[in-house]
Amino acid sequence: MPSLMKGFITKKIFELLESYDKPISYIIGCPMYVTIQRTIERQKVWMRLDDGIEIAQTYYQSPLWEKPRRLIMVRQQLSKRPKATGKLLGLFEDDEVINGYRHSCYITNLTLPYLTLPYLLQKYGDFTVSGLPVKTE
């Protein structure tokens, strides 16, 4: 099972998790820093996960990190999911399209297909999406 953390995306945390001969697998919830919000805004290709839920991935490099890391972005459309979790992107408050969604982001070193990560988060973490079909092993 991967290590699931929320908001601890410091260089020291990554160095610790990645320093072992066999690095510790992790999924870390991302705070919505300005650079993360801009990365979300630039994302043009989103995959439909379920009605009103879309997911995308990219690689993000903080100016404080030595290498880029995998960023998983999830957005939930408020008109279809009024109780959606996640954050509104304050940087783009005048953009009606972007503000029609709540966003969540995760940094991970897992190599699983990104479409499976929300199911993993829902099973082991605090990621909740009402109506997301539950996958069983």
Is residue 133 situated within a structural domain?
Answer: no
Is residue 136 situated within a structural domain?
Answer: no
- Number of domains making up the chain: 1
Is residue 116 situated within a structural domain?
Answer: yes
Average pLDDT in the 65-91 region?
90
pLDDT of residue 55: 92
Tens digit of each residue's pLDDT (9 = 90 or more) over 33-72:
899 999 999 999 999 988 999 999 999 999 888 899 999 9
Chain centre to alpha carbon of residue 117: 9
pLDDT of residue 36: 93
Higher pLDDT pick, 60 / 20: 60
What pTM value is reported for the model?
A: 0.79
Alpha-carbon gap, residue 8 to 10, rounded angstroms = 6
> What DSSP character marks residue 64?
T
Average pLDDT in the 2-6 region?
49
Is residue 135 situated within a structural domain?
Answer: no
Residues 26 and 3 sit within 8 Å (Cβ to Cβ) = yes
Tens digit of each residue's pLDDT (9 = 90 or more) over 101-124:
999 998 988 888 777 776 666 665
Is residue 129 situated within a structural domain?
Answer: no
The residue segments making up the domain with residue 75 are: 3-124
Is residue 137 situated within a structural domain?
Answer: no
Is residue 76 situated within a structural domain?
Answer: yes
Is residue 120 situated within a structural domain?
Answer: yes
